[in-house]
Amino acid sequence: MPANKTGPAPKKKKGRRGRLVAVAVVLLLVAGIAFGAFWGVNTVRASLPQTTGSLKLAGLTDPVDVRRDAHGIPQIYADTDEDLFRAQGYVQAQDRFWEMDVRRHMTAGRLSEMFGKDQVDTDAFLRTLGWHRVAQQEYDTKLSPATKKYLQAYSAGVNAYLKDHEGAALSLEYAALDFQNDYKPEKWTPVDSIAWLKAMAWDLRGNMQDEIDRSLMTSRFSQQQIAELYPAYPYQRSKPIVSGGAVNPVTKEFDPKRSGTGNASNGTPAGAAHGLQSGLSALSTSLDKIPALLGPNGNGIGSNSWVVSGAHTTTGKPLLANDPHLAPQMPSLWYQMGLHCRTTGPKCTYDVAGYTFSGMPGVIIGHNQDVSWGMTNLGADVTDLYLEKVATDGYLYDGRRRPFVTRKETIKVAGGPSREITVRATNNGPIVSDRDGELATVGKRAPVGNAAPDRGDGYALSLRWTALDPGTSMDAVFELNRAKDWTSFRKAAADFEVPSQNLIYADTKGNIGYQAPGRIPVRGKGDGTLPAPGWDPDYRWTGVIPQSALPWEYNPARGYIVTANQAVVDEKKYPYLLTKDWGYGARSQRINDLIESKTKDGGKVSTDDMQSFQQDNSSQIARILTPYLTKVNISDPYVREAQQLLDGWDFTQEPDSAAAAYFNGVWRNLLKLAFGNKMPKELRVKGQCLTVRPAEDSGPVDDLAKFVRECGERAPDMAQPDGGDRWYEVVRAILDDPTNAWWKTEDLPGHPGDKNRDQLLAHAMKDARYELTSKLGKNIDNWTWGRLHQMVLKNQTLGTEGPGFLQGLFNRGPWNVGGGEAAVNATGWNASGGYGVTWVPSMRMVVNLADLDKSRWINLTGASGHAYDAHYYDQTDKWAKGELLPWSFGEAAVKKSTKDTLTLTP
């Protein structure tokens, strides 16, 4: 399929009118065929925001100006904090209310109210977790009066917009929804904003999927084999974020210059997680149904951020870059915005710009007049699954039966009767196994050792998660926005409890820094890699790591800091367990290498260099594996022709590269042969069926009738092996062992398998040749990585589950893109599921602390969430080419870039 080459919408009104006429024709045709009615031009235009002139906004104390540039990015100017956030709520509702409305229903477990009975199971699981309940508790008991005031002002702004808009005037999606039910949005509340942080924390929850996957692997693999598939972090090859330092054992404070050792992690409970295949598979299926707002969690949501001090930059002040890697979706999760007090003082304290979340006040990532900050996922292990021995009247803990904590939840269903569920919880957390019939039988055959209670009807599964305790992360957002220096930045970070993020820092005075924040548990026994016995008090959490003990750096001697989901600190030098499941450092080390190569011998890094680093398409696994592939003797000239593409290849994955296409095809097929076909069905792609040896049979099988037919059960973007940098380490460890057992494939009667590395590599190259021929054609001169590796932007509701014609109205793409899994330009793809893009750099920014108006930014889509607005995806083509937009911040620069001005009046 050819790439979508559509550029940004024409700026002239004549062009816009022409496009609306074309849209109207399409809608008339579609509606005439499907419904005997039609959506006209007015339906399409009804929801497009007013961006010029003036509007009344009740509750304002003074007029507020909303200035938009050529890409519709708003900069808001006000005289009080409350006016600023009231206007932010109004403007975000103008552009993105459908997205906001769907998100709040998801976080509250109320999707069924909008979309009907198909969402009941998802709602039931989300009600069991209770995100909205915890958000309410935060609002009631944890947040500061100022934060509550800002949340109330923001909500009032959203509700002022809702008062004057309904149905198609809110968004085209509501016009489509009218065909199904008579849904009407209710008023926005502060808790709706807070609950979004719970969804963000869920998608960034750490290693829960790895915990499930390791347990599922026990049906096919030994503990030694599982350990080989989860190798230790390569500290000597991939530098951790903080290269030194230790915690003072007396004060419990981390000192980046202190030396010391001692990791306090404990072992995994022997046998506690074996035999849980049916239950954990069902749990994994339930998790797949929860909308992943940020991206697939299977190989860990990643991001890049780094900061270079002025000693190594052409500007003489720090340069800071960030690009979070999230699911490609329409619209982008991010919303660019500036929030400016005309005069900063006691009544109005903000002058900040950056990336916001629609539905939440403040700026999440960006800069103010003094400091800039970026985020990547720290990946701390903040969830644990517990086996619970349950009966109808309670659960077993410390030798005694304890009563459940229960509550009733009513799920309203559009077009059908309401459903009622009972949520049960133990002292470890909610019982997630109650949400699935198969999970009810969890642990019936689990060999959990002699110390386990009587098996009876089996065990349930509960979830312990830091985000289910009320916290102060909403306070931290506003504190970050107001931070003036390193001290106030660290104070803000201390309140950023969930999700746990790597925070990088730079200021206009020339300082750089890093802080690891978050509420990270301290375990009694266990290391969080496998489910723990809930009846044993020794496996309870005993507290959290003190904030003062979390790693940090300030103006390190090397002059730069890189965070890209690698290990934060060497576990041998740090006494607390952060996680056992880091990213393996392919991206972070490449960024380190790029900076070092640029700064050696006194070289300087420019803003252009920072932008170029973000576009680096180099493949680490190609650099490792290609020398072995080119040496394999291939006799088939058809396959040999493809093999020759790798000769002299520089390992970069440009969108027009045939070599990159072929290499990634070989990588995918290598993983399938060596590992994927050996996985239990619960980890293989749903619908992909194999004839396999029975799991309990390890001897020779010479009769095909003794084999069984098993079909995969996992969503394509969550299947294993996913091909990420953990698999780089797995393959690296066996490359020089040509007879390693992983290279050997199953002997089927009449079909002998591969016996060694070179046979399997030859097999993978042959399979890749034929697979790419089927996808790209016989002529390898026409092969390109971009044609294979395409990004499609999908509306996350009607664009994925709606009728085909609706998907066509709301989705955009495809785009042929370069980059790849674990490249700095991280256009991720799942090697088991296919070559399509599953996550992307969802935005990119480079902040210039010497002159903030010379900073640059880009969003994946555009400012608008309205399908036929000129700014629906007017940044995407530039994003795909690696371009960045100028980022105006100062009032003079903003005035110069302003195209439309809307005045909101009291």
Quick check: 30 pLDDT over 60? no
- pLDDT the model gives residue 18: 39
Q: 737-749, pLDDT tens digit by residue?
A: 999 999 999 887 6
Q: At a CB cut-off of 8 Å and minimum separation 6, what does 86 contact?
A: 57, 59, 60, 64, 153, 154, 156, 157, 160
Q: What is the mean pLDDT of residues 33-56?
A: 74
Average pLDDT over the chain, rounded to whole?
A: 88
pLDDT of residue 40: 64
Length, in residues, of the chain: 906
Helix (H, G, I), strand (E, B) or coil at 486: helix
Q: Nearest CA to 125 among 498, 436, 470?
A: 436
> Is the pLDDT confidence value at 298 over 60?
no
Q: Which two tokens stand for residue 150?
A: 């800002």
Between 741 and 267, whose confidence is greater?
741
Q: What is the 3-state secondary structure (H, E, C) of 846-876?
A: EEECCCHHHEEEEECCCCCCCCCCCCCCCCH
| Residue 54 DSSP code | E
Of the candidates 578, 697, 613, the one whose C-alpha atom is nearest the C-alpha of residue 219 is 697
Looking at per-residue pLDDT, the higher value among 187 and 300 belongs to: 187
Quick one: average pLDDT of 847-856? 98
What pLDDT does 185 receive? Answer: 94
pLDDT confidence band for 645 (50 / 70 / 90): very high
User: Does 39 have pLDDT greater than 60?
Assistant: no
Give the mean model confidence (pLDDT) for residues 469-488.
Answer: 97
State residue 447's pLDDT score: 40
HEC profile of 171-193: CHHHHHHCCCCCCCCCCCCHHHH
Question: Which pLDDT belongs to residue 451?
Answer: 56
Q: What is the mean pLDDT of residues 451-477?
A: 82
pLDDT tens string 371-427: 999 999 998 999 898 988 888 889 999 999 999 999 999 999 998 999 999 999 999
Predicted pLDDT at 703:
63
> In the prediction, which pLDDT does 702 show?
61
CA distances, 835 to each of 275, 775, 784, 896 (Å): 33, 11, 12, 43
Rounded to an integer, what distance in angstroms lies between the CA atom of residue 20 and that of residue 18? Answer: 5
For 759, other C-beta atoms within 10 Å of its C-beta total: 18
pLDDT tens, residue by residue, 45-104: 888 999 999 999 999 999 999 999 999 999 999 999 999 999 999 999 999 999 999 999
Pick the range with the lowest mean pLDDT from 31-40, 83-92, 108-117, 830-839. Answer: 31-40
Given this model, what pLDDT does residue 207 score?
72
Torsion of CA 169, 172, 175, 177, to 10 degrees: -130
* CB within 8 Å of 731: residues ≥ 6 apart: 621, 624, 625, 670, 674
**Percent of the chain whose pLDDT exceeds 90:** 72
Backbone angles phi, psi at 104, to 5 degrees: -70, -30
Lowest mean pLDDT among 178-182, 269-273, 304-308, 674-678: 269-273
Q: What is the pLDDT of residue 213?
A: 85
95-121 tens-digit pLDDT: 999 999 999 999 999 999 998 998 999
255 is written with which tokens? 């000192």
Q: Facing residues of 323 across strands?
A: 304
Q: What is residue 440's predicted lDDT score, i.e. its pLDDT? A: 41
**Where is average pLDDT lowest: 454-458, 470-474, 582-586, 882-886?**
454-458
pLDDT band of 216, cuts 50, 70, 90: confident
In our burial notation (b when 16+ CB lie closer than 10 A, e otherwise), range 821-845 reads bbbbbbbbbbbbbbbbbbbbbbbbb
* Residue 441 in this model has a pLDDT that exceeds 60: no
**Residue 850: closest CA among 889, 883, 896:** 889
Helix, strand and coil in the chain, % to nearest 5: 35, 20, 45
Q: 740: which 2 tokens?
A: 């390693």
For position 460, what pLDDT does the model report? 85
251 or 307: which leads in pLDDT:
307
pLDDT digits (tens, 9 = 90+) for 3-20: 443 333 333 333 444 344
What are phi and psi for residue 608, nearest 5 degrees?
-60, -40
Phi and psi torsions of 839, nearest 5°: -155, 160
Bridge partners of 815, per DSSP, are 791
Q: Give the Å distances, CA to CA, from 168 to 46, 156, 177, 729, 795.
A: 6, 21, 9, 52, 17
Query: Which residues, in sequence order, are CB contacts of 808 under 8 Å at separation 6+?
Result: none
Question: Residue 337: CA atoms inside 13 Å, Cβ hemisphere, count?
Answer: 31
On the question of pLDDT at 699 being above 70, the answer is: no
The yes-or-no verdict on residue 620 having pLDDT over 70 is yes
Structure tokens at 771: 């697979």
pLDDT bracket for residue 695 (50, 70, 90): low
Between residues 299 and 559, which one has the greater pLDDT? Answer: 559
Name the most confidently modeled range: 27-36, 425-434, 792-801: 425-434
pLDDT at 573 over 60: yes
pLDDT at 296: 55
